Chain A
Amino acid sequence: MSIAPIAPPVAPEVSAAATVRQITGAERTAHKPELAGAFGAALADAHAAERTATAAAEQFAKGDPGMGIHEVMIASEKANISVRYATTLKNKALEAYRELMNTQV
C-alpha cells in the first residue's frame, strides 16, 4: 500500500523564485521604482477616463441620441474610480517614502 505524501507539490516556478538570487549592480541601476510607474499608468488611465466622461457629458448636453443618461453616469463613475485608484497609489507611495524617511539611524 502506497501513501501519497501530504506536502503539496511545489510548482517549479515557485521553487525557482524561492531560491535567493544575487542582485547584480546593473540590475540595481536598471531597477525602477515600481509603485511610481504604476502611479504614472494609473494617472494616465484616470486622465483618459476623465476625458471620456467629459466628452460623454458634452455629447449628452448637445443632445446626441446615442448618449443616454446612464452612459454619462457610468463614464463619470469610471473616472471617479480611476482617479481614486491613482490617488490611493499616490498615498501609498508617499506613505512608503515617509516611512523610510522616518527611519531612525
Chain B
Amino acid sequence: MSTMDFFTAMEVSASGLSAERTRMNVAASNLANAQTTQATGGGPYRRRDVVMQSVAVPGVQNTPYAQAVKGVAVSQISQDTAPPRLEYDPGHPQADARGYVAYPNINPVEEMVDMITASRAYEAGITSMTTAVNMAERALGIGR
C-alpha cells in the first residue's frame, strides 16, 4: 500500500496492540494458575513473562525511514526461574516426602500491575491509531 502513509502509523499501533494483548493473555494465565500445583512437564506452574522485540513494519521496508520506524512483537514468552513457594500440607496429593507442596511463584499484586500496564499501553496504542485515522480523514477533507 503506497497511497496512504498513515497506514504505517496504523501498522505500528496494530503491532503494539497485538503485543499488549499477548501480555494481557500471559497475565491472565499467571493469575488463573496462581494455585496450580501440577503443570504440564511436572512441578507447579511457573510464572510467564513476555519479552518484546522491535520488528520491521510491513510496508515500510522500501522507505528511507524503514530503519527508524519499528513495530513491536513478542519475541518469546519466558518462564520465571524463581523457586516455587513451599507450603506445608501433608494431605495434599502433590505433597513431597516432607509434606510440603510447591505452589507457583506468583504474586497476584504483580500480575494486577502487569495487567493495568497492558491495559494502559493498549489504550495508548488505540489513541495513536485514532490520531492517525483522524489525520488521514483531515487530509481527505482538504479543499472541502
Interface residue ranges, A against B (CB under 8 Å): 41-42, 45, 48-49, 68, 70-71, 74, 77-78, 81-82, 84-85, 88, 92
Chain A residues contacting B133 (CB-CB under 8 Å) are 77, 81
Q: Chain B contact residues: over half helix, strand or loop, or mixed?
A: helix
1/0 per residue, CB under 8 A from A, across B1-39: the answer is 101101100100110011001000000000000000000
Contact B17 A41 (CB under 8 A): no
Q: Report A40 CB to chain B, min CB distance, Å.
A: 12
Residue of A nearest to B3 (CB): A45
Total B residues in contact with A, Cβ cutoff 8 Å:
18
Q: Is B112 an interface residue (CB 8 A)?
A: no
Number of A-B contacts (CB under 8 A): 43
Selected contact of A85 from candidates B18, B140, B143, CB within 8 Å: B140
Cα of A74 to Cα of B137 in the assembled complex, Å:
15
Residue of A nearest to B16 (CB): A70
Cα of A29 to Cα of B58 in the assembled complex, Å:
39
Contact B14 A70 (CB under 8 A): yes
Chain B residues contacting A74 (CB-CB under 8 Å) are 10, 13-14, 17, 129
Interface centre among A78, A88, A92 (most CB of B within 10 A): A78
Contact A45 B10 (CB under 8 A): no
Interface residue ranges, B against A (CB under 8 Å): 1, 3-4, 6-7, 10, 13-14, 17-18, 21, 126, 129, 133, 136-137, 140, 143
Given contacts A74-B13, A85-B3, 8 further A-B contacts (CB under 8 A): A68-B17, A70-B21, A71-B14, A71-B18, A74-B17, A77-B133, A78-B7, A92-B143
